[in-house]
């Protein structure tokens, strides 16, 4: 049995390479209608009227709805409540009711028999909106009292984590370093915009919905409750999906509008978001401002960390609730020996697109803020940034390392092996010290070259998931589990984990994802948890099948069930080659009356629900070498390296894909990607020309070393989750490299480090240091 740990060919590839992938737009139902959403053109306003009459007159238009059609319908609930925090006033209605809160806020929905006609009709809906003052900065907006929220403050609440006597520590510290840092607004922006198809079956009196990803079971519950349908009247079916990164598949207003319009018209409804719409409608992410302070003793040992942050939440609280703030504040304590810590995040609503969770939520921010502050501290203490980290990283004697913090109800137990050892291995494999020498030499010759490193703390694998594995009378093996295909290779990995138990080829296993008719409950694909939690459920379900197969075969063969061996989908008694039964033969027996009379369930089926006790805490390091063009301020990455502790890789090449792709996204947020707004709250980044993803020419060859030194103790596969480590450290490493290239004594101020910001840093540096010799003689 060697499926796990082997890079088998991806089961998803053939259909995708042949152009036969079935994305949501490829779901074509007879007589389907097209929905188009009419969105607010203003960032904050009072709705005085919506005139749909011209749109309704356009030939081909079937229906136009506004909030008046949804009176009495509850608002979209949060998926993860935060104890002690009441989100009720801040929740979003499927169609704006009374007020609009951001440009892109859905106000009406149009249904037509052709997508072009639906767009024509949407433009004919006349909106009468009285503009109100806008708030575009979380820190200064916190105290506003807002009529649209019934007089509640713009600040939704404060998330605080801490331990130790932090104020005493700071009062007595030999050195205190403080800085103010901001992370820009960027997001996952998958290449395939969102989309859904819903179809009503009059005979069965139920609806099928295609296109939900991430959390189909939660979304089914919410749709059922909001529309007022029994859950069993909604059947969720998977499609291929063009990337998620945490953004696709949350319950958005459109996730109500599509099934609602389908139910109302009893006709198939398709909605296919366009790119400009995606940039204002799908969750934004990241934007935070931090005041961070670090306290050190005389020997540069970290004594404490204090952090106050403001999260620019955008117009409403969406389904993730306070997750981003929780992960930012709780994990700010990081991978170091840190006797005392207090970290607070203010969640503040503003007049921008609401935020949500995007790959490494909170960790992109806490790793950047803490690691950049460490580099500033190194300069101020006269210490070497590498040595400052080495001195403070937790080592093998300190694991498992328990912090007096509970995250999502579980104690924070860093479950790794040795952060310091990992860093030393990373320094060696990346040859980072040589990069530093090269950069120093290049600077001496007048170039603006610098290096930066970051040690990152990640988290993965929380919650529960379920799986069913069955073997039928033909011997076919099928696994159904509660994850979603978002491009990560989930079918391959779940097939591998199943195949391992039966010793059959991975490609012989059929994988079914989040089909609510086959698997009644599941959890979803998010938070680097699919393999950790869903994969463990699959393993346990397959083990249950093998246990039953042994039991049945043991009786039939007159052999000790535990003695039987499983090879190539056949069970046999070692030493007696005639005593063998295939899984198909065993399955047939499992439907006989004799078998059922024993109280057994019909068929060869195994079920499991796996609940993780707590999160795993993967860790790793990022290294960057960057050069700045002094004329344009453009940052060019020359080298990049990542190391990551994965615990155990089910499919090493898919782990590499995850980390390398994640790194490119992280670099995008560090250098290029930003949702910018005008002073009236109008989005300035609504195309892929304004919101600039990295291209192949922007990215150096990335060196990646994946370590399997520390199998996760909390799950039987030993896996730690791989989805986000490539992203989590990129802001930190890039910022530190740019700071080094510019030889700043202070901080870079903010991400992304686009040319305009870098030129400003250059001007400030040169203007503020008159004695500095001219560099370009």
The values of phi and psi at residue 441, to 5°, are -65, -40
Q: Using the 8-state DSSP alphabet, how is residue 530 labeled? A: I
Indicate whether 224 belongs to the interface with another protein (CB under 8 A). Answer: no
Nearer to another protein, 9 or 520 (CB): 9
* Residue positions counted in the chain: 777
Cβ-based neighbour number of residue 703 at 10 Å: 14
Residue pointed to by tokens 């040595």:
387
Residues 528-547 that bind another protein (CB under 8 A): none
Least distance from another protein to the Cβ atom of residue 412, Å: 31
Distances, alpha carbon 205 to alpha carbons 200, 231, 264, in Å: 7, 12, 13
Q: Write down the least CB distance from residue 309 to another protein, Å.
A: 28
Chain residues 556-615 in contact with another protein, contact rule CB under 8 A: none
Site for another protein in 279-338 (CB under 8 A): none
Distance from C-alpha of 77 to C-alpha of 225, rounded to nearest angstrom: 10
- Among 41, 339, 603, 700, the residue binding another protein under the rule CB under 8 A is 700
Contact flag: residue 488 with another protein (CB under 8 A): yes
Is there binding between residue 14 and another protein (CB under 8 A)? yes
Lay out the site mask for another protein across 95-134 (x = CB under 8 A, - = otherwise): --------------------xx---x--xx-x--------
Find the part of the chain contacting another protein (CB under 8 A) among 197-205, 461-469, 480-488, 539-547.
480-488
Q: Strand 288-296 to strand 302-314: parallel, antiparallel, or no bridges (unpaired)? A: antiparallel
**Which CB atom, from 193 or from 725, has the smaller least distance to another protein?**
193
Asked if 760 is part of the footprint of another protein (rule: CB under 8 A), the reply reads no
16 near another protein, rule: CB under 8 A: yes
Q: Which is nearer to another protein, 438 or 743 (CB)?
A: 438
**Using the rule CB under 8 A, is 762 a contact of another protein?**
no
In the 8-state DSSP scheme, what is residue 260? Answer: H
CB of 734 to another protein, least distance (A): 15
Q: Which parts of 680-699 interact with another protein (CB under 8 A)?
A: 687-689, 693-697, 699
d(CA 174, CA 301): 10
Number of H helices, E strands in the chain: 21, 28
Which residue from 135, 412, 454, 654 is in contact with another protein, where contact means CB under 8 A?
A: 654
Residue 517 engages another protein in binding (rule: CB under 8 A): no
For the bound state, the minimum distance from the C-beta of residue 708 to another protein, rounded and expressed in Å, comes to 15
774 binds another protein (CB under 8 A): no
**Closest distance between another protein and the C-beta of residue 45, in Å?**
16
Single out the residue of 18, 594, 770, 774 in contact with another protein (rule: CB under 8 A): 18
Size of the site for another protein (CB under 8 A): 87
Q: List alpha helices for 181-322, DSSP H.
A: 216-227, 253-265, 275-281
Least distance (Å) between residue 128 CB and another protein? 11
Q: How far is the CB of 704 from another protein (least distance, A)?
A: 6
Cβ at position 26, least distance to another protein in Å: 5
Residue with the two structure tokens 């932090």: 166
Binding flag, residue 10, another protein (CB under 8 A):
yes
* 323 and 79 Cβ atoms separated by less than 8 Å: no
* Contacts by residues 740-746 (CB-CB < 8 Å, ≥ 24 positions apart): 740/375, 740/439, 740/450, 740/451, 740/452, 741/439, 741/443, 741/448, 741/449, 741/450, 741/626, 741/627, 741/628, 741/635, 742/448, 742/450, 742/628, 743/443, 743/450, 745/379, 745/380, 746/179, 746/376
Of 89 and 700, which CB lies nearer to another protein in the complex structure?
Answer: 700
Query: Smallest distance from the beta carbon of 30 to another protein, in angstroms?
Result: 14
Q: Residue 639 interacts with another protein (CB under 8 A)?
A: yes
Contact code string over 412-431 relative to another protein, x by CB under 8 A: -------------------x
Q: Is the peptide bond before 400 cis (omega within 30 degrees of 0)?
A: yes
Q: Does 656 bind another protein (CB under 8 A)?
A: yes
The reply to whether 446 sits near another protein by the rule CB under 8 A is yes
Give yes or no for a contact between 341 and 162, defined as CB atoms under 8 angstroms apart.
Answer: yes
**DSSP helix/strand/coil, 626:** strand
Q: Which is nearer to another protein, 413 or 654 (CB)?
A: 654
| Whole-number Å distance between alpha carbons of 501 and 569 | 9
User: How many Å apart are CA 35 and CA 61, to the nearest integer?
Assistant: 10
Structure tokens at 601: 């369930």
Angle at which helix 535-557 crosses helix 490-502, to 10 degrees, equals 30
Applying the rule CB under 8 A, the residues between 237 and 256 that interact with another protein are 240-243, 245
**Near another protein in 184-223, by CB under 8 A:** 188-193
- Minimum distance of another protein from residue 702's CB (angstroms): 5
Give the residue, chosen from 5, 13, 130, 556, that forms a contact with another protein under the rule CB under 8 A. Answer: 13
Using CB under 8 A as the binding rule, the residues of this chain from 262 to 281 that contact another protein are 274-276
| Sheet of strand 99-100: strand arrangement | 99-100, 45-51, 126-131
């Amino acid at each position: 049995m060697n499926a796990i740990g082997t890079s088998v060919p991806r089961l998803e590839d053939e259909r995708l390479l042949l152009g036969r992938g079935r994305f949501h737009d490829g779901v074509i139902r007879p007589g389907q209608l097209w929905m188009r959403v009419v969105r607010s053109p203003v960032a904050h306003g009072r709705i005085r009227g919506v005139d749909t009459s011209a749109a309704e007159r356009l030939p081909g238009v079937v229906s136009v709805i506004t909030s008046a059609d949804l009176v009495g319908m509850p608002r979209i609930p949060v998926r993860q409540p935060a104890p002690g925090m009441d989100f009720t006033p801040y929740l979003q209605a499927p169609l704006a009711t009374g007020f609009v809160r951001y440009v892109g806020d859905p106000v009406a929905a149009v249904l037509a028999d052709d997508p072009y006609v639906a767009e024509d009709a949407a433009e004919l809906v006349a909106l009468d909106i009285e503009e109100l003052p806008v708030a575009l900065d979380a820190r200064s907006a916190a105290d506003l009292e807002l009529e649209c929220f019934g007089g509640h403050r713009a600040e939704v609440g404060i998330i605080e984590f801490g331990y130790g006597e932090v104020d005493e520590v700071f009062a007595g510290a030999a050195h205190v370093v403080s800085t103010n840092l901001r992370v820009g607004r960027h997001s996952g922006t998958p290449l395939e915009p969102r989309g859904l198809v819903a179809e009503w079956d009059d005979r069965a009196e139920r609806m099928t919905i295609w296109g939900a990803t991430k959390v189909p079971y939660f979304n089914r519950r919410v749709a059922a409750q909001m529309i007022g349908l029994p859950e069993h009247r909604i059947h969720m079916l998977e499609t291929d999906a063009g990337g998620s990164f945490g953004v696709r598949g949350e319950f958005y207003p459109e996730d109500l509008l599509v099934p609602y319009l389908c139910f109302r018209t009893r006709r198939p409804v398709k909605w296919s978001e366009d790119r400009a719409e995606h940039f204002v409608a799908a969750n934004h992410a990241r934007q935070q401002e931090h005041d961070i302070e670090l306290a050190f003793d005389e020997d540069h040992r970290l004594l404490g960390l204090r952090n106050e942050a403001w999260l620019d939440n955008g117009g409403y609280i969406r389904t993730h609730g306070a997750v981003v703030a929780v992960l930012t504040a709780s994990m700010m304590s990081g991978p170091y020996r840190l006797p005392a810590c207090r970290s607070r995040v203010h969640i503040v609503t503003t007049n921008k697109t609401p935020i949500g969770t995007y790959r490494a939520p909170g960790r992109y921010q806490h790793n950047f803020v803490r690691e950049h502050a460490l580099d500033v501290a190194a300069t101020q203490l006269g210490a070497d940034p590498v040595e400052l980290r080495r001195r403070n990283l937790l080592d093998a004697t300190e694991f498992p390392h328990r912090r007096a913090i509970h995250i999502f109800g579980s104690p924070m137990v860093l479950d790794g092996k040795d952060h310091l050892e990992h860093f030393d291995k990373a320094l060696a494999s990346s040859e980072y010290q040589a990069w530093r020498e090269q950069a120093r030499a290049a600077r001496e010759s007048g170039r603006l070259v610098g290096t930066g490193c970051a040690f990152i703390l990640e988290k993965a694998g929380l919650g529960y998931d379920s799986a069913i594995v069955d073997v039928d009378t033909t011997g076919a093996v099928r696994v159904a589990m509660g994850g979603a295909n978002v491009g990560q290779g989930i079918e391959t990995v779940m097939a591998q984990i199943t195949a391992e138990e039966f010793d059959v080829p991975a490609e012989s296993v059929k994988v079914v994802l989040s089909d609510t008719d086959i698997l009644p409950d599941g959890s979803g694909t998010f938070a680097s948890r699919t393999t950790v939690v869903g994969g463990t459920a699959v393993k346990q379900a397959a083990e249950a099948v093998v246990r039953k197969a042994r039991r049945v075969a043991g009786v039939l063969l007159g052999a000790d069930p535990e003695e039987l061996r499983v090879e190539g989908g056949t069970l046999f008694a070692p030493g007696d080659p005639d005593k063998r039964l295939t899984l198909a033969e065993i399955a047939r027996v499992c439907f006989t009356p004799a078998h059922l009379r024993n109280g057994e369930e019909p068929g060869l089926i195994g079920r499991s629900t796996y609940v993780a006790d707590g999160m795993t805490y993967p860790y790793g390091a990022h290294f960057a070498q960057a050069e700045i063009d002094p004329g344009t301020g453009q940052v060019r990455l020359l080298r990049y390296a990542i190391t990551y502790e994965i615990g155990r890789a089910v499919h090493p090449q898919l782990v590499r894909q995850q980390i390398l792709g994640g790194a490119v996204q992280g670099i995008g947020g560090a250098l290029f990607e930003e949702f910018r707004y005008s002073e009236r709250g109008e989005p300035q980044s609504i195309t892929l020309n304004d919101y600039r993803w990295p291209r192949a020419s922007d990215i150096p060859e990335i060196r990646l070393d994946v370590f399997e030194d520390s199998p996760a103790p909390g799950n039987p596969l030993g896996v730690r989750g791989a989805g986000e480590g490539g992203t989590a450290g990129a802001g930190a490493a890039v910022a530190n490299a740019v700071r080094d290239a510019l030889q700043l004594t202070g901080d870079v101020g903010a991400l992304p480090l686009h040319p305009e910001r870098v030129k400003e840093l250059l001007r400030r540096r040169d203007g503020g240091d008159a004695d500095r010799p001219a560099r370009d003689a």
